[in-house]
Amino acid sequence: MVILTEQEIAKLLQGFYISLGGWMKYQYKGIKGEQGFTLTQFKTLFIINDASSCTMSYLSETMEVSKGTMTCMLNKLVMDGYVERKSCSKDRRNVYVNLTEKGEEKIKEVKEKILLSLVGVVKHLNEEEKQEMYRSLTSLNTILKTKNH
C-alpha cells in the first residue's frame, strides 16, 4: 500500500483536472464541428440546463465573465433558438435565462455523445478497475460537492 501525503493527492487531483479538461475540450471540438458551437457556448448551455432557470448574474459569475460578455455570448444562442431570456415581473432588472425546447434537445444530444465517448474510455477496464474507479469518483464527487474550501 502506497502512503501519500495530502500534497501528493492534491497534485494528482490537479493533474486529473487538467487532463479531464483537455479531454473534454477535445470532445467538444469534435461535436463543435457538427453543431457550430464554441466551447464557451457549450459550457453556458450546460450551466443553464443544470440550473433549469438562472439569472444573468448567476450565469456570468459561474462562467467568470462580465455581464456584458455574457450578454454577447447569449445573443447568438437566443437568435439560434436555444435559449430564451425573460424579465422578472417583480424586478425588471433581473433577467432569467432558460433553455428552449430546442436547447434542451441539443443538450440531451451532446450529453449522449459525450457519454458514448466516456463509455469508450472505460470499456477497456477490467471489473476490478471499474469498481476502483467507481469508488474513487463517487468519493471525490461527494467531497467536492460538500466541501467549499
Has residue 1 been placed in a domain?
Answer: no
Has residue 50 been placed in a domain?
Answer: yes
Q: What pLDDT is stored for residue 149 in this prediction?
A: 45
Has residue 35 been placed in a domain?
Answer: yes
Q: pLDDT over 70 for what percent of the chain?
A: 93
Provide the CATH number for the domain around residue 79. 1.10.10.10
Say whether pLDDT at 7 is over 80: yes
Total domains present in the chain: 1
Helices (H), the chain: 6-35, 39-51, 56-63, 67-79, 101-122, 127-146
Has residue 3 been placed in a domain?
Answer: no
| Cα dihedral sign, 142-45-40-114 | positive
76-127 tens-digit pLDDT:
999 999 999 988 777 767 788 999 999 999 899 888 888 898 898 899 999 9
Which residue matches cell numbers 474513487?
136
Residue 140's alpha-carbon distances to 53, 84, 134, 137, in angstroms, are 27, 34, 10, 5
**Strand duo 53-55 + 83-87: pairing:** unpaired
Has residue 2 been placed in a domain?
Answer: no
Residue 8's alpha-carbon distances to 4, 11, 13, 102, in angstroms, are 6, 5, 9, 45
